[in-house]
Amino acid sequence: MGEILGIGMTHAPHLQFTDENMANVLRRLLKSDRTPAEMKDPKNWPAGMRAEWGSDEGVSAARSHRAALLEGVRAARAALDAFKPDFVLIWGDDQYENFREDLLPPFCVYAFDEVDCALFKGSDGLGASANVWNEPANRVVKIKGHREAANLLAQKLLENGFDVAWSYRLHHAEVLSHAFARTILYLDYDRKGFPYPVIPFHVNCYGSHLQPSADQGKIDRRPAASIADALAMLRLGEAGCAHYRERPMAGGADRFIELVARDAHGQASLPVPGRGSRSATFRGIKGGTVRGVARVGPRADAFLGPARDAELGLSGGRHGRAQDFAAALR
């Protein structure tokens, strides 16, 4: 039987850069002509924002925020290592990186044997390039993929009526998009290496109404059943290795992990079907819940208003909080 471990991950704030650069986006907005003059005066900011800005323009707040996030990230990595997955499926948003005006799939499964990843690339948006490990910003590393499992996943989604694209190579981008890269980078913050094959699952974040739904405004639950169906086919054979259509798969696939890069755009974790569905053979799934492995205390930016995801019709805070996410998974 297969097992699923769900981990909520963020790809922001930019933990790869220094604390002194964490507030660069705010600094840029304070200089912008589009920012109302009254909002450039800290006296008009919410109390939590003024407290974080403090007397050092957010450096102390960035330092404490980093410490809290790393506690959660390290707990997530410990859970990942203990689980020993055969591959890692990462949901991540593509922000005008690999897909642009000429092609706007709502979802895309990447089926790679390996893919280039610029883990230490600088950020134009943040205006930062030096990273906390002093790695060269132009260093490109190879990330292992799992082509056969990705193909099966896409096939089962299509067979279940969920219109998903899949690709064997990148389109516009030369390296893996930052939502996937940062998920891997932050899980390996302590530089132990990341040995697990990855299946990136692209979620469009700038198109609208790209995926039809019979019930507008509600999450379409078909992907969960399809993914569970695919995993069920990767069943253990008598020799202890995974099989797909009676053919053994190298390395086995009796374990599976999903990582949800969800913070920046309020994305929701994919619901897992409960008992009675075709995925009920998975150990560790009770009543459709997935356990959280890390909790981070409440943030001072709770005053920020809700954002909406244009594709899935979901409401959520633009700066999602790990504590809320863990509570939702319990």
> pLDDT tens, position by position, for the chain (330 residues)?
578 899 998 888 899 999 999 999 999 999 999 999 999 999 999 999 999 999 999 999 999 999 999 999 999 999 999 999 999 999 998 888 999 888 889 899 999 999 999 999 999 888 899 999 999 999 999 999 999 999 999 999 998 888 899 999 999 999 999 999 999 999 999 999 999 999 999 988 876 666 665 554 444 555 566 666 665 554 333 223 333 344 443 333 333 333 433 333 344 333 333 333 333 333 333 333 334 444 444 443 333 333 333 322 223 333 333 333 333 333
Rounded (5°) CA angle 268-272-275: 155
Q: Which amino acid is at 244?
A: Y
Q: Which amino acid is at 319?
A: H
3-state helix, strand, coil in the chain (%, to 5): 30, 20, 50
Residue 223: per-residue pLDDT: 59
Q: Quick one: which of 41, 72, 2, 74 has its CA closest to 263?
A: 72
Residue 104: per-residue pLDDT: 86
CB 264 within 8 A of CB 87: no
Rg (CA), the chain: 20
Residue 169 DSSP code: S
The correct answer on CATH 3.40.830 for the domain covering 3-22+58-329 is yes
User: Rounded to whole angstroms, what are the CA distances from 326 to 8, 42, 171, 258, 264?
Assistant: 8, 32, 34, 14, 16
Residue 160: per-residue pLDDT: 87
Structure tokens at 275: 């008992």
Residue 273: per-residue pLDDT: 36
User: Rounded to whole angstroms, what are the CA distances from 93 to 90, 160, 203, 207, 241?
Assistant: 10, 23, 5, 11, 33
Per DSSP (E only), the strands in the chain are: 3-9, 88-94, 107-110, 114-117, 141-144, 165-167, 198-204, 235-236, 242-244, 247-249, 255-261, 306-309, 314-317
